[in-house]
Amino acid sequence: MVSYVVAAAMLVALYVLTYYNLLKGTRCRSDTCLRGRTVIVTGGNTGLGKETALDLARRGAQLILACRSKQRAEAAVFDIRKKSGNNQVIFMQLDLASLKSVRAFAETFLKSEPQLHVLINNAGTGTAGKTADGFNMAWGVNHLGHFLLTHLLLDRLKQCAPSRIVAVSSTMYRFGKIDFSNLNPPGESLIQLIQYYSDSKLCNVLFVRELANCLEGTNVTCYSVYPGVVNTEAFRHFKWWQKVFFAPVATLFFRSPADGAQTSIFCAVQEGIEKFSGRYFTDCKVQEVLPHARDDAVARKLWELHSVTAWLESVAADGRCCLSQG
């Protein structure tokens, strides 16, 4: 009996050491105050986005939660206001799966808010289905929606410089690939959905890399971040039997949303990282990405392709994107 107790104690101690030294991640230690500064967080009503928003609200920022669900966002606004003591937290409607909604959000924001200092492109999905514009959900929401949003708000960020853009990516970028002959392939098998998600996260990294080049000299900087493997509501779409298996693993070995939000917070507030604009951060420090994620030619081609606004709205609802570059 004693041996079982000792073994159990050793396992618990090993788990605690492993979690706090390897899994939990690094906390942002900056005490930067954000009073008088305006911040947008997409998907700020839950998970990483909400924890990021809560931290920035506690720093005194005027905060806009850009979310699809009004009911969930308004509940998050109430909670963040209560916990932070900051009443400058509001909800604005944004559905990244609709380019029309992205444009409407940007128009409303630019008319109603004179300043923007930090844009955090946090919202993401890996679910099946198509966006309102006919793209697979991961590509449309994770990449195209945020690309257009950033483009539409860029002048305001420049006017309010120094300002920052933070894009939440993933280590899954490692498995991503960019096929310019077919950027919107059909298919919704599990393997295909994982590939689409990986592709979109590679696009996040490449987008930030090229954006940094375009912003050189403007005092606007940008960063892509990997939050770690986080236990968020992104897994709520799992089937019940998947949740039975997944829940214990996620609880024990995944980061909490508060821990996962630290690198986004770091890149939004930490002083002295401006020289790393365009780089990829994890655990509150710069990390080198694989060669295909720092291919400047691909990053430039992707940027030029999506900078053609007419193209963003020209793909048929169930069409393939096939463009040749002359």
* Spatial distance between the Cα atoms of 264 and 208, rounded to a whole number of angstroms: 14
Cα→Cα distances 56→151, 230, 268, 309, Å: 23, 19, 9, 32
**C-beta separation of 54 from 78 below 8 A:** no
Which residues, 6 or more positions from 184, have their beta carbon under 8 angstroms from its beta carbon? 134, 135, 136, 139, 315, 319, 320, 321
Nearest 10 degrees: CA dihedral of 14, 19, 23, 24? Answer: -160
Catalytic position from the list 197, 223, 226, 280 = 197
**C-beta separation of 41 from 122 below 8 A:** yes
* Spatial distance between the Cα atoms of 56 and 42, rounded to a whole number of angstroms: 13
Could you report how far apart the first and last alpha carbons of the chain are, in Å? 75
Instruction: Say whether 197 is catalytic.
Output: yes
* Spatial distance between the Cα atoms of 133 and 136, rounded to a whole number of angstroms: 9
DSSP H helices, the chain, are 2-18, 47-58, 70-84, 99-112, 137, 146-159, 190-214, 240-253, 257-260, 262-269, 296-307, 309-312
Q: How many CB atoms within 10 Å of residue 294?
A: 16
**C-beta separation of 164 from 220 below 8 A:** yes
Tell me the DSSP string of 183-244. SS----SHHHHHHHHHHHHHHHHHHHHHHHHHTTTTTEEEEEEE--SB--GGGTTS-HHHHH
Q: Could you give the residue numbers annotated as active site?
A: 197
